[in-house]
Structure 1
Amino acid sequence: MRFLVLASMLALTACSNPVPSFIVAPQVFWNQSNQLNGVAFSLNVQDNRPSNGTLIMRDGDKVNSYPTSNNLPQQLQDVLTDALSKQGAQVSGAEPVVVTIQINQLEANAELRTVEHIVKNNVELTVLIERESGSFNKSYSGKSSFSGPFKLDTAVAERELRVLTEQVLGNLLRDPSWQEFLRN
């Protein structure tokens, strides 16, 4: 009987498929207002991560790193441009004031074991504002984790990393300090 249980557990872990796609597509729901009305700036998103791996899967000594299937910096740029425009900001590429969002860390680290998996998510973004009168920078980060039995469901990992990314973006957007710097 123990042999059948062990054989079925090994079969389940051996059948794990390579990751066909891993998409991080956060959305931001921010109430429309005019708090950035009349503020004009260029917005750039830079991926400063040491590698483009977003899902890292560790299985013993074997480590596989998978990038997102979508263009993560462009996804964040589109989401932030939309959210900031809804606040009255004029976001274009030709403004002398430059707001850069740096992606310092955005990854799901999965440790795969025979009977379980543990995933730790890390997101760190930095707002950097450059203008003639000075500069501003501030980092925003978040961590989360989850675990489950047997094989990792990459859809769950996608969802959990997306939710954490949305929380960090929400904290960034709600912080009045960088907005005050832009307005003054």
Structure 2
Amino acid sequence: MKKLLLAASVFALTACSTPSEPQLTLTPQPVIAAQPLVQGKALALDSRDLRTAQFIAVVDSGRENVQPLHSTQNLRITLEQALSRQLASQGYTITADSQGTLRLDVLEAMVNVKHSVMSHDLSSKLQLQLVVETPTGKFIKRYSGKSERTGAMSASVEDMELAMNNLINAVLKDIYADQELNKYMQENL
């Protein structure tokens, strides 16, 4: 019994000390409006993650050595919270009991990294879809962004985080500045 307890303790300590896979921390910065666009317009906010793979980055070091990296937080929830803060600054009230609904669909979010001996290529893609449903109709629009960068040596986790955060921020700015979306929401909510 003592040997079994000792073996279990050693196994538990070994499991705690093994290095874990690196993860990306995403910190999107929504656009905060200086002046609200609307007053008292209520809408329900929902989101779905429709990606086929749940990791955020893929690092290809060659020789068939491919490593997927995940985010420290749930990407869908992170994007929904950022969009919620952005909409609240525009004057919208986010509430569960509203006749109008805005749904955020995450279609693609990926950082691809290819390492060679002396350099790396970093390619990022993000595609989001907004679906606004009101009693008078439906508005659907996709927002996407791409970025590519080449650097010396290997790409760090911070390089990958910066690439994805910058891409998310750019897409949030596009959503904020979209006149078609803003007009539809102002007229139909």
TM range (shorter): 0.7 to 0.9
Residue from 140, 147, 152 that aligns with 1:149? 152
Residues 124, 140 of structure 1: 8 Å contact kept? yes
Residue from 27, 33, 41 that aligns with 2:43? 41
1:72 corresponds in structure 2 to 75
2:87 corresponds in structure 1 to 84
Q: Deviations over 1:123-174 (max 9, x none)?
A: 1111111122111111111111112222221101101210111001110111
Letter in 2 for 1:179: N
Displacement of 1:104 in angstroms is 0.9
Letter in 2 for 1:114: V
Give the alignment's TM-score, normalised by structure 2.
0.83
Count of aligned pairs: 168
1:160 corresponds in structure 2 to 163
Where does structure 2 lack aligned partners over 5 or more consecutive residues? 1-18
Displacement of 1:37 in angstroms is 1.7
CA RMSD of aligned residues (A): 1.6
Q: Deviations over 1:56-111 (max 9, x none)?
A: 11122232211211121111111111111111101112212110111111111001
Residues in 2 aligned to 1:115 and 1:94: alpha-carbon distance in whole angstroms: 55
Percent sequence identity over aligned pairs: 21
Q: Which has the larger radius of gyration?
A: 2
